[in-house]
Structure 1
Amino acid sequence: MIDKTLMRLSGMKRIMTMLAGFALVQAFVILLQGKFLAEGIVHSWNRQSLAGLWLPLGLFATAFVIRQLIVWVRNRIGARFAMTSSAWLQAQLLKHLYALGPAAVAKEGTGNLVTMALDGIPEAENYIELILNKILNMSIIPWVLVAYIWYENWLTGFTLLIMFPIIILFMVILGLAAQDKSESQYAGFQKMSNHFIDSLRGLKTLQLMGISRQYANNVYDVSEDYRKQTMGVLRIAMLSTFALDFFTTLSIAVVAVFLGIKLMDGTIPLYPAMVALILAPEYFMPIRDFGTDYHATLNGKNAMKAIWQVIDQPLPTDTNVLPAFSRWRAQDTVTINHLDFTYPNERAGIQNANLQFTGTEKVAIIGASGSGKSTLLNLIGGFLQPQKAAMTVRG
């Protein structure tokens, strides 16, 4: 259930171990909270002295405070780790984009990369912050609670245990549908971002050519497609939330009816029935929290996937970084001999180019579209890897 890209973040295993330890402690605190509350209710039901009620109520209050403290600490740890990791991701993204150069920006789309660096990073941060605690809660807390309920009354524990996989199955089915819709929505968001940036860049040209209104309709169509995709994701999210709430509420109701019949028959003591009824909502709470926030994290998951795809792009290896120098002098030269470059898709690039630039002269590189002007600049800048070349700068 843990996204593989999360495990690539620095310190993830240490943070997960720490949060898992807190989750285990929190599970036992929730268990004690339910236990002491049930003891207090049973004590009152048996009409015992009021003095004997203060101890379970005091222990219940103590467990409640400890639980809230653990939740606060876990949220602080998760938020701090998410902030640090997102800042590292942003730095790596910008560093990699700078090394990849203009060719990568043109390939991915300026609007897409700007949105990824500005909006995608906060969404990835939100995803990291929410998903860790939610998954650990769902992986640890229910099993501690159901083990104690089983110990008090095995039939109730068995009933809760068989209901959990059914809810998980429905969540998986709806989750896969939501993920497909979300990926489609994120692709639409990238497309809309690129259209928006392109329209801003070429607004003057579109006006001069008299097709600005036509392009405005194109932007409207793209944004309308994105709106429909977003509504599709929201429909799936609302359906899954309804299904999750329905099945968890139904499960708790089944347990309550079952325990009520047992109590009327006198086949179960009051304490096991009360502790099971109190802990049953806590048993289903982690999966309800996960289901509620799952859709809120899908955008962050998609953004994080897109960020890693950019970071994983290979960089040119055969590069020499020039030493720092104060200024370019009149006698300095850039010499290029026998420059050959062909793109991976066998698209033509540059063949056997020989060039020399001297001093502060102004050089115009002219040629038809696709003749290799941008390719030449990217090769000189080290953003592309030539198949063959002899380049010297200042000797």
Structure 2
Amino acid sequence: MKPLDPRLLRRAKAARTFLAGSVLIGVATGLLIVVQAVLLAHGIAGVVLRGELAAAVVWSLAAVIVARALLLWLQEVVAQRTAAAVKSTLRRQVLDHSLKLGPAWLSGERSSALTTLLTKGLDDLDPYFARYLPQLVLASTVPAGVIGWMATGDLLAAGTVLVTLPLIPIFMALIGWVTQAHSRRRQHALAVLAHHFADVVSGLPTLKLFGRAKSQAVAVERVTDRHRVASMGSLRLAFLSSLVLELLASISVALVAVGVGLRLVDGKLGLETALLVLILAPEAYLPLRQVGAQFHASADGVAASEEVFRVLETPLPVLGDRTDVPDLRVTPLHLHDVTVAYAGRSTPALEGFDLELWPGEVVALTGPSGAGKSTVLAALLGFVVPERGVIVAAGTAADEFDPVLWRQQFAWVPQRPGLLVGSIADNVRLGRPAASDLQVRQALDTAGAAELELETAVGEQGKLLSGGQRRRVALARALITDAPVLLLDEPTAGLDADAEAAVVASLRATGRTALLVAHRPALIAAADRVVEVGARELVTA
């Protein structure tokens, strides 16, 4: 685990500014420590040898203490603001990058794990910036200044500190290797807990229906216990490592003190110099001890940042830039030998698929579950990149066009349409934000949802609506767009026979090109052509 990941400096400008400021504060802190030690040694020696304490020394010492307090306050304020800025930057970058990677990549990621990373995970960067990184800067500046000043008064004591000081970072590195593994296990345990809990909550109505809700309490308890064990293991390691570092520092300071005491008794060392060395010696070890103590507090944040960089360093698909997208109202679409393979699957999701889609026709895609019907829609939308084959419009491959302009030619209703919290009208207007209430009403009527009121509330993920109502709202959202091609994945699932017939009639009345993933007989019968995915031949309805 790197003490300071260069990728963090490249990705977040605030981190670079904070590091520069921390170096300046560290240098100033080191100078104040030396000045404070000199004043204390001079003042104590004056009291012991001359029986007097100069007022100038007292006021100077008070000023130094106030200055150190102000530097600590400034370091804390800057660290907290930097942590907030860096977290905001990384969250925005991960969200933007995830959207650019597309649904195919997101489908391979656990949504709960990604959510945990962007919330609790990145919040663990607070101790990294507020505690660990400032101590790391102090550890690289203060010991050098302290040892250098000690050498001007007692070269032997400075040499003792110089020899024993590297033992602390050596043991820190050994402890760090173990801590890295513990932090990763703890991060994984937290992700598993979040994923399992999200699954249980989302499936609670079904579990309740079949009387399996209580049995899930045992599973949640088991996963929670695993997270607890990982957390306690990290705490145990933190306490043990602090003991080791404190013991090393104490023994090292004791060696310096014994040498100084013997030479002071022999008259080889002055009292003020001896006091200066004894005051400065602990200050040389303190920053390194604090780095070790704060390392564990920051380990979770560093582990989370590594996961963030894993997402950010995932290469983006190559996108086209042509803006002369053909109008699919009058231009046919051709899919030639399209093969799509997903990572982790031994067989292609879609293999050697051919299709001609002419303007204004309704085509139904049929075939068994897993044959690749939804993959055909994803390929047309550019969500997945074919391993072989090409999608052509007006003699040009679809991947040469700007993906945003290309997708404006399509209106898509997936198998599980997503709805936002708000009203039905708000969700329909996602297809056309400037649509009037009359246009929203017409889209709902066309989608067979005449009974739904525009102001009807919609909960998270479509809660408060039935499955059929959610699908009809999503269909209305697609219909209200100006897109010439409708890509509909089981648009009538959850509807009764009468509602299904009304939707089919409305779809044909729009005159748009429609590609339907269909299993229900009424929807298949309404198509101009039926294409069986997995078979090379076309079946005419």
TM-score (norm 1): 0.87
- Contact 1:171 1:291 (C-alpha < 8 Å) held by counterparts: yes
Q: Mind listing any 5+ residue stretches in structure 1 that lack a counterpart?
A: 324-329
For residues 361-393 of structure 1, the C-alpha deviation after alignment (integer angstroms, 9 at most, x for no partner) is 8x9876544322443443344332224332553
Q: Do the aligned partners of residues 23 and 206 (structure 1) sit closer, same or farther apart at CA in structure 2, a change above 3 Å counting?
A: same
Asked whether 1:348 is paired with 2:351, we answer no
The offset of 1:109, in angstroms, is: 0.7
Partner of 1:327: none
The offset of 1:159, in angstroms, is: 1.5
For residues 157-203 of structure 1, the C-alpha deviation after alignment (integer angstroms, 9 at most, x for no partner) is 11112221122222222221121111111111111111111122222
- Contact 2:378 2:384 (C-alpha < 8 Å) held by counterparts: yes
* Superposition pairs of residues 1-395 of structure 1, within 5 angstroms: 1-11=3-13, 12-50=15-53, 53-319=54-320, 335=333, 337-338=335-336, 339-344=338-343, 347-351=347-351, 352-354=353-355, 356=357, 367-387=367-387, 388-390=389-391, 393=409, 394=484
Deviates more, 1:72-81 or 1:184-193: 72-81
The offset of 1:353, in angstroms, is: 4.2
The offset of 1:225, in angstroms, is: 1.6
The offset of 1:334, in angstroms, is: 8.6
- Contact 2:151 2:158 (C-alpha < 8 Å) held by counterparts: yes
- Contact 2:339 2:348 (C-alpha < 8 Å) held by counterparts: no
Q: Percent of aligned positions with the same letter in both sequences?
A: 28
How far apart in 1 are the matches of 2:209 and 2:359?
A: 38
Calculate the aligned-residue CA RMSD, in Å: 3.0
SS of residue in 1 equivalent to 2:383: coil
TM-score (norm 2): 0.65
Bigger proportion of residues as helix? 1
How far apart in 1 are the matches of 2:69 and 2:27?
A: 14
Deviates more, 1:351-360 or 1:155-164: 351-360
The amino acid of 2:37's aligned partner reads G
Deviates more, 1:2-11 or 1:181-190: 2-11
How far apart in 1 are the matches of 2:8 and 2:274?
A: 41
The offset of 1:103, in angstroms, is: 3.0
Q: Do the aligned partners of residues 48 and 126 (structure 1) sit closer, same or farther apart at CA in structure 2, a change above 3 Å counting?
A: closer
- Contact 2:168 2:289 (C-alpha < 8 Å) held by counterparts: no
- Contact 2:12 2:90 (C-alpha < 8 Å) held by counterparts: no
- Contact 2:380 2:391 (C-alpha < 8 Å) held by counterparts: no
Q: Do the aligned partners of residues 27 and 366 (structure 1) sit closer, same or farther apart at CA in structure 2, a change above 3 Å counting?
A: farther
How far apart in 2 are the matches of 1:332 and 1:59?
A: 86
The amino acid of 2:174's aligned partner reads I
Compare relative contact order (CA 8 Å, sep 6+) and give the higher one, 1 or 2. Answer: 1
SS of residue in 2 equivalent to 1:390: strand
How far apart in 2 are the matches of 1:106 and 1:152?
A: 66
How far apart in 1 are the matches of 2:220 and 2:365?
A: 34
- Contact 1:316 1:384 (C-alpha < 8 Å) held by counterparts: no
Deviates more, 1:195-204 or 1:330-339: 330-339
